């Protein structure tokens, strides 16, 4: 029978772990480089528009109420202007999305994030109006400086 080789289990285990790590890195790189489908690209665009709408709703209420002192119907009209016009500016001027002419409709820009826009606008607008109601003779920041 011959002599048995002495095997260092720690070294062998370290070697196996390194090989396994390399295999996992190769597999993860292959998965990440998979080309995106049209649906994935559209969902990515809509997700960005959704979160931009959430921010836009809160900021438009903040600007309309604090800066310009809008209340009532004027604040409602302010909300509608930002609701319908700003998404087009974001899509075409800021993010520079390119839509296929065959598949493009205005609904692709207007619809993502309608609910979150309205909700964030109402929450911020009502909260600000309630707080500013308790400040005597405050209408807007512009009125203070003009």
Whole-angstrom Cα distance, residue 84 to residue 114? 10
| pLDDT tens digit at each of 146 positions of the chain | 567 777 777 888 888 888 888 887 877 666 655 657 877 777 887 888 889 889 999 999 999 999 888 889 999 999 999 988 888 888 788 878 777 776 677 777 788 888 999 999 999 999 999 998 888 888 788 877 77
Nearest CA to 81 out of 111, 108, 107, 61 is that of: 61
CA Rg value for the chain:
28
What's the distance, Cα to Cα, between the start and end of the chain in Å?
103
Q: Domain-by-domain residue ranges, the chain?
A: 38-145
Whole-angstrom Cα distance, residue 38 to residue 33? 15
- Is the CB of residue 128 less than 8 Å from the CB of residue 61? yes
**pTM higher than 0.75:** no
DSSP string for 96-111:
-----TTT--THHHHS
């Amino acid at each position: 029978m011959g002599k048995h080789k002495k095997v260092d289990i720690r070294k062998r285990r370290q070697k196996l772990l390194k090989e396994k790590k390399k295999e996992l890195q190769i597999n993860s790189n292959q998965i990440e480089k998979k080309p995106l489908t049209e649906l994935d690209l559209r969902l990515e665009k809509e997700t960005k528009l959704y979160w931009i709408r959430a921010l836009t709703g809160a900021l438009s209420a903040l600007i309309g109420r604090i800066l310009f002192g809008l209340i009532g119907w004027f604040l409602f009209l302010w909300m509608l202007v930002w609701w319908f016009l700003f998404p087009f500016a974001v899509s075409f001027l800021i993010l520079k999305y390119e839509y296929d002419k065959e598949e493009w409709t205005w609904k692709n820009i207007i619809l993502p994030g309608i609910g979150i826009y309205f909700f964030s606008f109402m929450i911020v607008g009502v909260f600000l109006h309630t707080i500013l109601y308790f400040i005597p003779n405050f209408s807007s920041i512009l009125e203070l400086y003009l």
